Amino acid sequence: MSVPTVPTPSPEQLKLIERGRSVLPGGVCSSTRFNQAWGRPVYASRAKGSRFWDIDGNEFLDMSMSHGAALLGHGPDCLRDVFDKVWELGLMCSLDGPYHIELAEQLCEIVPCAERIRFTGSGSEATLHALRLCRAVSGRDKIIRFHGHFHGYHEFTFIGGHPPADQLDAKPPYRESAGIPKALAELIITAEYNDLDALERLVKQHKHEAGTILIEPVDYNCGAIPPEPGFLEGARRLANEHGLILFFDEIQSFAKKSPGGAQQDFGVTPDICTIGKSLGAGLPLSAIAGKAELMDRFKPVGDVAHSGTFNAPLPSILAGLAFVRAIRTPEFWQHIHSLSDRLGRGLNDISQRSPIPCRFQTHGSRFGLTFGTREPVKNYRDSLCHRREVMLEFCRQTTARGIYFHDYGGGPCHHGFSTAHNAADIDKVLQVVADSLNAMAVR
Ligand X SMILES: Cc1ncc(COP(=O)(O)O)c(C=O)c1O
Stretch that binds ligand X, among 123-131, 176-184, 303-311, 379-387 (CB under 6 A): 123-131
Question: Which of 49, 76, 123, 410 forms a contact with ligand X (CB under 6 A)?
Answer: 123
Distance CA 54, CA 60 (A): 8
Q: Does 251 bind ligand X (CB under 6 A)?
A: yes
Under rule CB under 6 A, how many of the chain's residues touch ligand X?
15
Nearer to ligand X, 152 or 173 (CB): 152
Q: Which residues pair with 47 in a beta bridge?
A: 52
Nearer to ligand X, 369 or 437 (CB): 369
Please report the sign of the dihedral spanned by the C-alpha atoms of residue 192, residue 195, residue 196, residue 198.
Answer: negative
Q: Does 156 bind ligand X (CB under 6 A)?
A: no
Question: Which of 32, 122, 348, 438 forms a contact with ligand X (CB under 6 A)?
Answer: 122
Residue 199: left if φ>0, alpha if ψ -120 to 50, beta else—which one? alpha
- Contact yes or no for 147/190 (Cβ under 8 A): yes
Nearer to ligand X, 106 or 120 (CB): 120
Q: Does 120 bind ligand X (CB under 6 A)?
A: no
Nearer to ligand X, 255 or 440 (CB): 255
Please report the sign of the dihedral spanned by the C-alpha atoms of residue 145, residue 151, residue 152, residue 156.
Answer: negative
Q: How far apart are the first and last CA of the chain?
A: 14
Q: Does 67 bind ligand X (CB under 6 A)?
A: yes
Q: Does 147 bind ligand X (CB under 6 A)?
A: no
Nearer to ligand X, 123 or 416 (CB): 123
Q: Does 276 bind ligand X (CB under 6 A)?
A: yes
Closest approach, Cβ 251 to ligand X, in A, equals: 4
Determine what percent of the chain falls in helix, strand and coil, rounding each to the nearest 5: 40, 20, 40
Residue nearest to ligand X (CB): 123
Q: Does 127 bind ligand X (CB under 6 A)?
A: yes
Please report the sign of the dihedral spanned by the C-alpha atoms of residue 306, residue 174, residue 232, residue 153.
Answer: positive
Closest approach, Cβ 275 to ligand X, in A, equals: 10
Closest approach, Cβ 252 to ligand X, in A, equals: 4
Distance CA 442, CA 285 (A): 45
Task: Give the count of alpha carbons within 13 A of 415, CB side only.
Answer: 26
Stretch that binds ligand X, among 108-116, 149-157, 291-299, 368-376 (CB under 6 A): 149-157
Distance CA 421, CA 416 (A): 10
Nearer to ligand X, 13 or 252 (CB): 252
Q: Does 150 bind ligand X (CB under 6 A)?
A: yes
Distance CA 389, CA 394 (A): 9
Q: Does 151 bind ligand X (CB under 6 A)?
A: yes
Q: Does 124 bind ligand X (CB under 6 A)?
A: yes
- Contact yes or no for 176/220 (Cβ under 8 A): no
Q: Does 280 bind ligand X (CB under 6 A)?
A: no
- Contact yes or no for 110/342 (Cβ under 8 A): no
Residues 187-206 that bind ligand X (CB under 6 A): none
Nearer to ligand X, 244 or 413 (CB): 413
Distance CA 20, CA 252 (A): 30
Burial class, 405, CB count within 10 angstroms (exposed 0-12 / middle 13-18 / buried 19+): buried
**Interface with ligand X by CB under 6 A: which residues?**
67, 122-124, 127, 150-152, 216, 221, 249, 251-252, 276, 286
